[in-house]
Structure 1
Protein backbone atom coordinates (compact mmCIF):
# COMPACT_ATOMS: atom_id res chain seq x y z
CA UNK A 1 0.00 0.00 0.00
CA UNK A 2 1.19 3.49 -0.80
CA UNK A 3 -0.01 6.89 0.39
CA UNK A 4 0.26 9.62 -2.21
CA UNK A 5 -1.30 12.93 -3.23
CA UNK A 6 -4.64 12.51 -4.99
CA UNK A 7 -4.72 12.99 -8.74
CA UNK A 8 -7.66 14.06 -10.88
CA UNK A 9 -7.77 10.52 -12.29
CA UNK A 10 -8.54 9.23 -8.75
CA UNK A 11 -11.85 11.10 -8.59
CA UNK A 12 -14.08 8.23 -9.85
CA UNK A 13 -12.63 5.84 -7.23
CA UNK A 14 -13.02 8.45 -4.49
CA UNK A 15 -16.61 9.07 -5.59
CA UNK A 16 -17.33 5.35 -5.41
CA UNK A 17 -15.99 5.12 -1.83
CA UNK A 18 -17.68 8.25 -0.50
CA UNK A 19 -21.01 7.74 -2.27
CA UNK A 20 -21.34 4.20 -0.87
CA UNK A 21 -20.81 5.66 2.60
CA UNK A 22 -23.36 8.41 1.94
CA UNK A 23 -25.95 5.94 0.58
CA UNK A 24 -25.48 3.05 2.98
CA UNK A 25 -24.39 4.39 6.37
CA UNK A 26 -24.99 6.94 9.10
CA UNK A 27 -21.27 7.86 9.07
CA UNK A 28 -22.13 11.13 7.36
CA UNK A 29 -25.33 13.09 7.84
CA UNK A 30 -25.57 14.10 4.20
CA UNK A 31 -27.75 12.31 1.71
CA UNK A 32 -26.36 14.19 -1.31
CA UNK A 33 -23.92 12.09 -3.29
CA UNK A 34 -20.76 13.77 -4.60
CA UNK A 35 -20.15 14.01 -8.31
CA UNK A 36 -16.81 13.23 -9.90
CA UNK A 37 -16.64 16.87 -11.03
CA UNK A 38 -16.98 18.15 -7.46
CA UNK A 39 -14.26 15.76 -6.29
CA UNK A 40 -11.98 16.85 -9.16
CA UNK A 41 -12.44 20.48 -8.05
CA UNK A 42 -11.62 19.51 -4.44
CA UNK A 43 -8.45 17.71 -5.53
CA UNK A 44 -7.33 20.73 -7.57
CA UNK A 45 -8.13 23.15 -4.74
CA UNK A 46 -6.68 21.19 -1.84
CA UNK A 47 -3.51 19.95 -3.54
CA UNK A 48 -1.13 18.27 -1.06
CA UNK A 49 -3.83 18.12 1.62
CA UNK A 50 -5.78 15.53 -0.40
CA UNK A 51 -4.25 12.08 -0.08
CA UNK A 52 -5.17 8.59 -1.23
CA UNK A 53 -4.26 5.08 -0.13
CA UNK A 54 -3.52 2.89 -3.12
CA UNK A 55 -3.04 -0.87 -3.15
CA UNK A 56 -2.30 -2.90 -6.27
CA UNK A 57 -3.08 0.13 -8.42
CA UNK A 58 -6.50 0.72 -6.88
CA UNK A 59 -7.52 3.69 -4.70
CA UNK A 60 -9.09 2.24 -1.57
CA UNK A 61 -9.24 5.23 0.74
CA UNK A 62 -8.65 8.95 1.04
CA UNK A 63 -8.08 11.68 3.58
CA UNK A 64 -8.21 15.43 3.21
CA UNK A 65 -8.79 18.58 5.20
CA UNK A 66 -10.33 21.95 4.67
CA UNK A 67 -11.37 25.00 6.66
CA UNK A 68 -12.92 24.40 10.06
CA UNK A 69 -14.67 27.76 10.22
CA UNK A 70 -14.33 31.06 8.41
CA UNK A 71 -12.35 34.05 9.57
CA UNK A 72 -8.69 34.74 10.29
CA UNK A 73 -8.89 33.51 13.87
CA UNK A 74 -9.35 29.95 12.59
CA UNK A 75 -6.57 30.09 9.98
CA UNK A 76 -4.47 27.43 11.73
CA UNK A 77 -7.33 25.00 12.32
CA UNK A 78 -8.65 22.48 9.78
CA UNK A 79 -11.36 19.82 9.78
CA UNK A 80 -10.43 16.53 8.18
CA UNK A 81 -12.24 13.70 6.46
CA UNK A 82 -11.02 10.14 6.16
CA UNK A 83 -12.90 7.37 4.39
CA UNK A 84 -11.85 3.84 3.48
CA UNK A 85 -13.31 1.12 1.31
CA UNK A 86 -14.65 -1.66 3.57
CA UNK A 87 -11.85 -4.11 2.68
CA UNK A 88 -9.20 -1.61 3.87
CA UNK A 89 -10.57 -1.13 7.37
CA UNK A 90 -8.33 -2.58 10.05
CA UNK A 91 -5.40 -2.96 7.64
CA UNK A 92 -3.38 0.10 8.71
CA UNK A 93 -4.51 2.31 5.83
CA UNK A 94 -6.31 4.73 8.15
CA UNK A 95 -3.27 5.20 10.37
CA UNK A 96 -1.00 5.64 7.35
CA UNK A 97 -3.34 8.19 5.76
CA UNK A 98 -3.72 10.16 8.97
CA UNK A 99 0.01 10.20 9.66
CA UNK A 100 0.68 11.57 6.17
CA UNK A 101 -2.21 14.03 6.46
CA UNK A 102 -0.95 15.32 9.80
CA UNK A 103 2.53 15.77 8.29
CA UNK A 104 1.02 17.73 5.38
CA UNK A 105 -0.90 19.88 7.88
CA UNK A 106 2.23 20.56 9.93
CA UNK A 107 4.04 21.62 6.74
CA UNK A 108 1.23 24.14 6.16
CA UNK A 109 1.54 25.33 9.78
CA UNK A 110 -1.84 23.92 10.80
CA UNK A 111 -1.98 23.85 14.59
CA UNK A 112 -5.18 21.82 15.18
CA UNK A 113 -6.99 19.14 13.19
CA UNK A 114 -10.65 18.58 14.04
CA UNK A 115 -12.77 15.49 13.45
CA UNK A 116 -16.56 15.77 13.34
CA UNK A 117 -17.81 12.21 13.82
CA UNK A 118 -21.31 10.77 13.75
CA UNK A 119 -22.28 9.16 17.06
CA UNK A 120 -23.46 6.23 14.93
CA UNK A 121 -19.80 5.55 14.09
CA UNK A 122 -18.15 4.30 17.30
CA UNK A 123 -15.34 2.73 15.26
CA UNK A 124 -14.24 6.18 14.07
CA UNK A 125 -14.33 7.52 17.61
CA UNK A 126 -12.13 4.62 18.80
CA UNK A 127 -9.80 5.05 15.81
CA UNK A 128 -9.30 8.75 16.46
CA UNK A 129 -8.72 8.12 20.18
CA UNK A 130 -6.09 5.52 19.30
CA UNK A 131 -4.15 8.01 17.15
CA UNK A 132 -4.13 10.76 19.75
CA UNK A 133 -7.35 12.71 19.22
CA UNK A 134 -9.26 13.91 22.25
CA UNK A 135 -13.03 14.21 22.45
CA UNK A 136 -13.76 17.85 23.15
CA UNK A 137 -17.50 17.98 22.67
CA UNK A 138 -20.71 16.34 21.65
CA UNK A 139 -23.58 18.14 19.99
CA UNK A 140 -26.80 16.22 20.64
CA UNK A 141 -29.24 15.63 17.79
CA UNK A 142 -27.69 18.06 15.27
CA UNK A 143 -27.77 15.41 12.53
CA UNK A 144 -30.83 13.84 10.94
CA UNK A 145 -30.78 10.95 8.50
CA UNK A 146 -33.12 8.05 7.77
CA UNK A 147 -35.59 9.37 10.36
CA UNK A 148 -32.97 9.29 13.14
CA UNK A 149 -31.57 12.14 15.18
CA UNK A 150 -27.80 11.82 15.48
CA UNK A 151 -25.17 13.42 17.70
CA UNK A 152 -22.00 14.97 16.36
CA UNK A 153 -18.88 14.05 18.33
CA UNK A 154 -16.08 16.60 18.07
CA UNK A 155 -12.50 15.43 18.49
CA UNK A 156 -9.26 17.30 17.97
CA UNK A 157 -5.51 16.86 17.91
CA UNK A 158 -3.02 19.64 18.53
CA UNK A 159 -0.24 19.14 16.01
CA UNK A 160 2.40 21.60 17.16
CA UNK A 161 3.19 24.10 19.85
CA UNK A 162 3.08 27.82 19.11
CA UNK A 163 6.46 29.17 18.15
Structure 2
Protein backbone atom coordinates (compact mmCIF):
# COMPACT_ATOMS: atom_id res chain seq x y z
CA UNK A 1 0.00 0.00 0.00
CA UNK A 2 1.17 3.50 -0.86
CA UNK A 3 0.04 6.83 0.63
CA UNK A 4 0.28 9.79 -1.70
CA UNK A 5 -1.18 13.22 -2.32
CA UNK A 6 -4.50 12.94 -4.13
CA UNK A 7 -4.80 14.03 -7.77
CA UNK A 8 -7.89 15.34 -9.55
CA UNK A 9 -7.89 12.08 -11.52
CA UNK A 10 -8.64 10.23 -8.23
CA UNK A 11 -11.95 12.06 -7.80
CA UNK A 12 -14.05 9.37 -9.49
CA UNK A 13 -12.82 6.62 -7.14
CA UNK A 14 -13.10 8.91 -4.10
CA UNK A 15 -16.66 9.78 -5.12
CA UNK A 16 -17.51 6.07 -5.31
CA UNK A 17 -16.25 5.56 -1.73
CA UNK A 18 -17.87 8.61 -0.18
CA UNK A 19 -21.17 8.34 -2.07
CA UNK A 20 -21.61 4.71 -1.00
CA UNK A 21 -21.15 5.87 2.60
CA UNK A 22 -23.66 8.69 2.09
CA UNK A 23 -26.25 6.35 0.47
CA UNK A 24 -25.85 3.32 2.71
CA UNK A 25 -24.87 4.46 6.21
CA UNK A 26 -25.49 6.87 9.06
CA UNK A 27 -21.74 7.66 9.18
CA UNK A 28 -22.48 11.07 7.70
CA UNK A 29 -25.63 13.06 8.26
CA UNK A 30 -25.80 14.33 4.69
CA UNK A 31 -27.96 12.75 2.01
CA UNK A 32 -26.45 14.84 -0.80
CA UNK A 33 -24.00 12.83 -2.87
CA UNK A 34 -20.77 14.48 -4.02
CA UNK A 35 -20.03 15.09 -7.67
CA UNK A 36 -16.73 14.05 -9.19
CA UNK A 37 -16.13 17.69 -10.16
CA UNK A 38 -16.66 18.99 -6.60
CA UNK A 39 -14.24 16.41 -5.23
CA UNK A 40 -11.67 17.28 -7.92
CA UNK A 41 -11.96 20.97 -6.90
CA UNK A 42 -11.44 20.03 -3.23
CA UNK A 43 -8.35 18.00 -4.12
CA UNK A 44 -6.89 20.93 -6.06
CA UNK A 45 -7.71 23.41 -3.29
CA UNK A 46 -6.36 21.32 -0.42
CA UNK A 47 -3.15 20.07 -2.07
CA UNK A 48 -1.00 18.19 0.47
CA UNK A 49 -3.95 18.15 2.89
CA UNK A 50 -5.72 15.54 0.72
CA UNK A 51 -4.22 12.06 0.74
CA UNK A 52 -5.16 8.69 -0.71
CA UNK A 53 -4.18 5.13 0.12
CA UNK A 54 -3.54 3.20 -3.06
CA UNK A 55 -2.77 -0.42 -3.83
CA UNK A 56 -2.54 -2.03 -7.26
CA UNK A 57 -3.76 1.23 -8.87
CA UNK A 58 -6.93 1.18 -6.75
CA UNK A 59 -7.88 3.84 -4.20
CA UNK A 60 -8.53 2.14 -0.84
CA UNK A 61 -9.50 5.31 1.00
CA UNK A 62 -8.76 8.96 1.55
CA UNK A 63 -8.04 11.40 4.35
CA UNK A 64 -8.22 15.16 4.23
CA UNK A 65 -8.57 18.18 6.46
CA UNK A 66 -9.85 21.69 6.14
CA UNK A 67 -10.77 24.62 8.35
CA UNK A 68 -12.49 23.79 11.63
CA UNK A 69 -14.15 27.20 11.92
CA UNK A 70 -13.59 30.52 10.23
CA UNK A 71 -11.52 33.34 11.65
CA UNK A 72 -7.86 33.79 12.51
CA UNK A 73 -8.24 32.42 16.04
CA UNK A 74 -8.96 28.96 14.59
CA UNK A 75 -6.24 29.02 11.93
CA UNK A 76 -4.17 26.30 13.62
CA UNK A 77 -7.08 23.90 14.11
CA UNK A 78 -8.33 21.64 11.32
CA UNK A 79 -11.26 19.25 10.96
CA UNK A 80 -10.50 15.95 9.30
CA UNK A 81 -12.35 13.40 7.24
CA UNK A 82 -11.14 9.86 6.72
CA UNK A 83 -13.09 7.28 4.73
CA UNK A 84 -12.20 3.83 3.48
CA UNK A 85 -13.63 1.49 0.89
CA UNK A 86 -15.51 -1.38 2.53
CA UNK A 87 -12.86 -4.00 1.70
CA UNK A 88 -10.03 -1.79 3.02
CA UNK A 89 -11.41 -1.56 6.56
CA UNK A 90 -9.72 -3.29 9.49
CA UNK A 91 -6.57 -3.82 7.41
CA UNK A 92 -4.46 -1.04 8.92
CA UNK A 93 -5.18 1.34 6.04
CA UNK A 94 -6.84 3.91 8.29
CA UNK A 95 -3.91 4.01 10.71
CA UNK A 96 -1.39 4.53 7.91
CA UNK A 97 -3.53 7.26 6.33
CA UNK A 98 -4.00 8.98 9.69
CA UNK A 99 -0.25 9.02 10.42
CA UNK A 100 0.41 10.58 7.02
CA UNK A 101 -2.39 13.12 7.48
CA UNK A 102 -1.05 14.12 10.90
CA UNK A 103 2.43 14.57 9.42
CA UNK A 104 1.02 16.80 6.66
CA UNK A 105 -0.94 18.82 9.22
CA UNK A 106 2.11 19.27 11.46
CA UNK A 107 4.20 20.41 8.48
CA UNK A 108 1.55 23.03 7.74
CA UNK A 109 1.60 24.31 11.34
CA UNK A 110 -1.62 22.70 12.53
CA UNK A 111 -1.79 22.44 16.31
CA UNK A 112 -5.00 20.43 16.73
CA UNK A 113 -7.10 18.09 14.62
CA UNK A 114 -10.81 17.65 15.28
CA UNK A 115 -13.07 14.82 14.14
CA UNK A 116 -16.85 15.09 14.11
CA UNK A 117 -18.21 11.53 14.28
CA UNK A 118 -21.75 10.22 14.04
CA UNK A 119 -22.87 8.40 17.18
CA UNK A 120 -24.11 5.71 14.78
CA UNK A 121 -20.45 4.95 14.00
CA UNK A 122 -18.91 3.54 17.20
CA UNK A 123 -16.15 1.94 15.14
CA UNK A 124 -14.91 5.39 14.15
CA UNK A 125 -14.96 6.54 17.78
CA UNK A 126 -12.87 3.48 18.72
CA UNK A 127 -10.51 4.04 15.78
CA UNK A 128 -9.89 7.68 16.67
CA UNK A 129 -9.32 6.78 20.33
CA UNK A 130 -6.83 4.09 19.28
CA UNK A 131 -4.79 6.66 17.31
CA UNK A 132 -4.67 9.17 20.17
CA UNK A 133 -7.82 11.28 19.85
CA UNK A 134 -9.90 12.01 22.94
CA UNK A 135 -13.59 12.72 23.15
CA UNK A 136 -14.04 16.38 24.01
CA UNK A 137 -17.76 16.76 23.50
CA UNK A 138 -21.02 15.28 22.40
CA UNK A 139 -23.79 17.28 20.78
CA UNK A 140 -27.07 15.42 21.30
CA UNK A 141 -29.48 15.05 18.39
CA UNK A 142 -27.88 17.61 16.06
CA UNK A 143 -27.93 15.17 13.14
CA UNK A 144 -30.99 13.83 11.36
CA UNK A 145 -31.04 11.13 8.70
CA UNK A 146 -33.53 8.44 7.72
CA UNK A 147 -35.96 9.56 10.43
CA UNK A 148 -33.36 9.21 13.20
CA UNK A 149 -31.90 11.90 15.43
CA UNK A 150 -28.17 11.37 15.86
CA UNK A 151 -25.51 12.72 18.21
CA UNK A 152 -22.29 14.26 16.98
CA UNK A 153 -19.23 13.05 18.89
CA UNK A 154 -16.34 15.53 18.85
CA UNK A 155 -12.85 14.12 19.22
CA UNK A 156 -9.56 16.03 19.23
CA UNK A 157 -5.85 15.37 19.03
CA UNK A 158 -3.20 17.94 19.89
CA UNK A 159 -0.38 17.43 17.40
CA UNK A 160 2.47 19.41 18.93
CA UNK A 161 3.43 20.99 22.20
CA UNK A 162 4.27 24.53 21.15
CA UNK A 163 4.99 25.93 24.60
CA UNK A 164 1.89 28.10 24.60
CA UNK A 165 -0.51 27.78 27.52
CA UNK A 166 -4.27 27.64 27.08
CA UNK A 167 -6.12 30.40 28.99
CA UNK A 168 -7.95 27.87 31.19
CA UNK A 169 -4.81 25.86 31.90
CA UNK A 170 -3.78 25.35 35.54
CA UNK A 171 -0.22 26.23 34.40
CA UNK A 172 -1.23 29.77 33.44
CA UNK A 173 0.36 31.33 36.49
CA UNK A 174 3.83 30.01 35.73
Report the TM-score when normalising by structure 1.
0.99
Partner of residue 9, structure 1:
9
1:55-94 deviation line (CA, Å, top 9, x unaligned): 1110010000000000000000000000000100010100
**Structure 1 position 117, deviation (Å):** 0.1
CA RMSD of aligned residues (A): 0.5
> 1:96-115 maps to which residues of 2 (within 5 A)?
96-115=96-115
> 1:10-159 maps to which residues of 2 (within 5 A)?
10-159=10-159
Structure 1 residue ranges, 4+ long, deviating more than 4 angstroms after superposition: none
List alignment gaps of at least 5 residues for structure 2.
164-174
Report the TM-score when normalising by structure 2.
0.93
Provide the rounded CA distance (Å) in 1 between the counterparts of 2:55 and 2:139.
Answer: 36
Q: Larger Rg: 1 or 2? A: 2
SS at match of 1:3: strand
1:95-145 deviation line (CA, Å, top 9, x unaligned): 000000000000000000000000000000000000000000000000000
Pairing 1:162–2:162 present:
yes
Provide the rounded CA distance (Å) in 2 between the counterparts of 1:95 and 1:3.
Answer: 11
